[in-house]
């Protein structure tokens, strides 16, 4: 700074410096003024800082006193609230202890009462045990007396038996067998007579009502029936088409059989190629595919596969369509898609020449009429009748009878009603009937199958059925002759009048009917008529 003052003074022009004054004097005076000013400023600054510090100390002292006062007040408040909480907690603990003491006293009283009761029971038990011991001694004495008496009676019986054997010249076993045989025969005759009277009365009462119901059901619904077999014929325009169907080295006919799963029969029959298969769906696909190939004229492996796939898709559509038509016709709702498809497959299935789907629809309608006449649920009976033969759509793929297959298939695909399941599984008597709808479906099934023209069978099957029917009837000892009449719907049995009474004849008819139901398969029903004839002869000479 000194250098700057000196430099500033040196830089002044000569005219600005007073004449006769020394430059250094001026510099000194200026420096002294600066020093004095700095000392004075420092003193003023120190005085100001001292005041500020003093005020800060006073402010801190006031804040500290105020904080101490607030802390004391908070401490007093916390101490007061803590004392109150401790007092309340003490009161709660004392109340809980008092309640626990009361409960403990009550429990002690209950235990005391139980101990008293147990002691009383123990005394009674001891008294009873003593009485039982006393009674046991009496019973043992009585048992010994009875044994002695039994031994005496047995000895007396043996003496009487020996005496009877000497008098009658017959052993005890022979006499017992003779008596049992006579009693059994008398009991059988009596039971047969009683059963005959009961059944005849029931039949008399039920015939009129059942006749009216069945006639009404048959009149209200009459279904159309179409007879089919396991062989389907395809007509051709010329014999040259047989060679095209066979193909070079049989490649075309093998391709058809491989694609459809059916057998193609090409023989000497003019104008016809036959398709054979037990599966009605595959038989239909094979027949329609072959008919399209014959009409088109182009028979080759690639074309065969194309036609078969097209026909298969068309048949699958028809299956769903037929199933929908059946449920709409019967007015049934809530069937799952697999059940509808299975119903559609029944359109291609026949039983004794009767279309199974039309038969199922007919049984559904007949079941509804019968159920309505009996005051039952007609809609439920209609559902049972429609689904009763649904197992026939699967019996080519699953082992077992169609009633069991159908019942399991319905249960697996959403059918929850036990009445429907029992009707499906028991309409041929395979399982016991648990609802009235099962015998209703059985009756409707018999009505549908027994309708004139509904079912047919081949001549060989017809003759075999008649012979089997006559053989079953003649196997009984009392039967002399048996004849199947009315196209196998009745068997007339002639019994030996010396070995069979009128009441026994009724029992024989039931036994034959039961065997026919168990061992034979037949459409409709078979009537068993037992004839007992007594001939009296005399000669005049």
Rounded CA separation 423/387 (Å): 9
Q: For residues 335 and 316, what is the distance between their CA atoms, to the nearest angstrom?
A: 18
- Give the separation between CA 162 and CA 170, rounded to whole angstroms: 10
For residue 458, what pLDDT is reported?
A: 53
Give counts: helices (H), strands (E), the chain: 15, 8
Residue whose C-alpha is closest to residue 440's, from 374, 518, 489: 374
- How much is the pTM? 0.48
Strand partners, 351: 354
Contact indicator for 402, 380 with CB cutoff of 8 Å? no
3-state secondary structure of 541: coil
Question: How far is 104 from 110, CA to CA, in rounded Å?
Answer: 10
Record the tokens describing residue 405, joined without a space: 């297959």
Residue 422 has what pLDDT? 93
Six token digits for residue 139? 């019973």
- Is residue 236 classed exposed, middle or buried when 0-12, 13-18 and 19+ CB atoms within 10 A define those classes? buried
Please state, in angstroms and rounded to a whole number, the distance separating the CA atoms of residues 217 and 369. 6
- The Cα–Cα gap between 277 and 265 comes to 11
State how far the Cα of 328 lies from the Cα of 202, in Å rounded to an integer: 39
Distance CA 501, CA 467 (A): 27
Classify strands 263-265 and 231-235 as parallel, antiparallel or unpaired: unpaired
Query: What is the token pair recorded at 161?
Result: 């038996």
Q: Quick one: pLDDT at residue 9?
A: 46
Is residue 324 classed exposed, middle or buried when 0-12, 13-18 and 19+ CB atoms within 10 A define those classes? Answer: middle
Q: How far apart are CA 478 and CA 504, in angstroms?
A: 10
Q: What is the pLDDT of residue 459?
A: 59
CB 252 within 8 A of CB 286: no
Q: How far is CA 394 from CA 131, 278, 279, 346, 352, in A?
A: 72, 12, 10, 9, 17
Q: 465: which 2 tokens?
A: 């059925």
Whose tokens are 């029969």? That residue is 265
The total number of residues written for the chain in this structure: 541
Count the Cβ atoms, other than its own, within 10 Å of residue 196.
18
Residue linked to tokens 């052993």? 171
Count of CB atoms within 10 A of residue 191's CB? 12
Tokens of 151: 């031994």
Query: Which residues touch 169 (CB under 8 Å, ≥6 apart)?
Result: none
Q: What are the residues whose beta carbons fall under 8 Å from the beta carbon of 475, sequence distance 6 or more?
A: none
Spatial separation of the C-alpha atoms in residues 497 and 316, rounded to whole Å: 62
Q: In whole angstroms, give the CA distance from residue 415 to residue 336.
A: 8
Q: Of all residues in the chain, what percent are helix, strand and coil, respectively (each to 5)? A: 70, 5, 20
- What pLDDT does 2 receive? 45
**pLDDT, block means (10 residues), the chain with 541 residues:** 47 47 72 81 75 80 84 84 86 88 90 89 88 88 88 84 71 73 73 69 63 52 47 77 81 84 80 81 85 82 86 89 89 88 86 80 90 89 91 80 89 90 88 90 80 53 80 85 80 83 81 85 77 69 62
Tokens in use for 503? Answer: 């009441």
CA–CA gap between residue 247 and residue 249 (Å, rounded): 6
Pairing of strands 490-495, 527-532: parallel
**For residues 380 and 371, is the Cβ–Cβ distance under 8 A?**
yes
The closest alpha carbon to 254, from 180, 183, 325, 305, belongs to 305
């Amino acid at each position: 700074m000194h250098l700057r003052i000196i430099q500033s003074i040196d830089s002044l022009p000569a005219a600005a410096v007073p004449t006769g004054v020394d430059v250094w004097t001026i510099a000194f005076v200026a420096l002294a003024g600066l020093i004095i000013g700095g000392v004075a400023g420092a003193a003023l600054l120190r005085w100001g800082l001292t005041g500020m510090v003093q005020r800060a100390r006073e402010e801190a002292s006031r804040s500290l006193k105020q904080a101490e006062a607030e802390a004391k007040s908070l401490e007093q408040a916390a101490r007061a609230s803590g004392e109150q909480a401790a007092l309340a907690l003490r009161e709660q603990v004392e109340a809980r202890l008092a309640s626990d003491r009361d409960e403990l006293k009550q429990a002690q009283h209950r235990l005391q009462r139980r101990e008293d009761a147990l002691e009383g029971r123990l005394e009674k038990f001891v008294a009873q045990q003593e009485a039982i011991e006393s009674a046991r001694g009496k019973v043992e004495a009585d048992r010994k007396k009875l044994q002695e008496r039994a031994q005496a009676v047995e000895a007396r019986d043996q003496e009487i038996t020996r005496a009877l054997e000497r008098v009658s010249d017959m052993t005890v076993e022979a006499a017992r067998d003779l008596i049992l045989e006579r009693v059994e025969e008398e009991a059988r005759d009596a039971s047969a007579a009683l059963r005959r009277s009961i059944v005849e009365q029931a039949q008399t009462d039920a015939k009129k009502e059942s006749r009216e119901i069945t006639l009404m059901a048959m009149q209200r619904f009459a279904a159309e029936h179409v007879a089919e077999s396991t062989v389907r014929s395809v007509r051709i325009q010329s014999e040259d088409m047989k060679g095209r169907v066979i193909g070079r080295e049989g490649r075309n006919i093998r391709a058809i059989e491989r694609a459809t799963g059916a057998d193609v029969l090409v023989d000497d029959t003019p104008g016809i190629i036959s398709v054979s298969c037990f599966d009605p769906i595959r038989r239909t696909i094979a027949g329609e595919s072959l008919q399209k190939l014959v009409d088109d004229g182009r028979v080759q492996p690639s074309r065969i596969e194309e036609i078969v796939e097209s026909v298969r898709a068309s048949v699958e559509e028809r299956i769903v369509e037929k199933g929908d038509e059946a449920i709409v016709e019967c007015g049934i709702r809530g069937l799952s898609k697999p059940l509808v498809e299975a119903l559609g497959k029944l359109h291609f299935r026949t039983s004794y020449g009767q279309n199974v789907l039309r038969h199922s629809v007919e049984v559904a309608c007949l079941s509804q009429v019968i159920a309505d006449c009996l005051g039952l649920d007609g809609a439920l009976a209609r559902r049972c009748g429609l689904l009763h033969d649904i197992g026939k759509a699967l019996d080519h793929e699953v082992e077992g009878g169609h009633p069991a297959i159908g019942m399991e298939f319905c249960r697996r695909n959403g059918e929850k009603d036990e009445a429907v399941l029992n009707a499906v599984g028991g309409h041929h008597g395979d399982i016991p009937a648990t609802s009235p709808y099962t015998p209703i479906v059985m009756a409707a099934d018999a009505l549908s199958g027994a309708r004139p023209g509904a079912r047919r069978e081949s001549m060989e099957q017809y003759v075999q059925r008649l012979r089997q029917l006559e053989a079953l009837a003649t196997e009984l000892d009392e039967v002399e002759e048996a004849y199947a009449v009315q196209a196998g719907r009745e068997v007339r049995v002639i019994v030996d009048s010396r070995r069979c009474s009128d009441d026994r004849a009724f029992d024989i008819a039931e036994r034959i009917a039961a065997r026919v139901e168990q061992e034979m398969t037949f459409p409709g029903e078979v009537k068993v008529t037992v004839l007992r004839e007594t001939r009296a002869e005399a000669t005049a000479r």
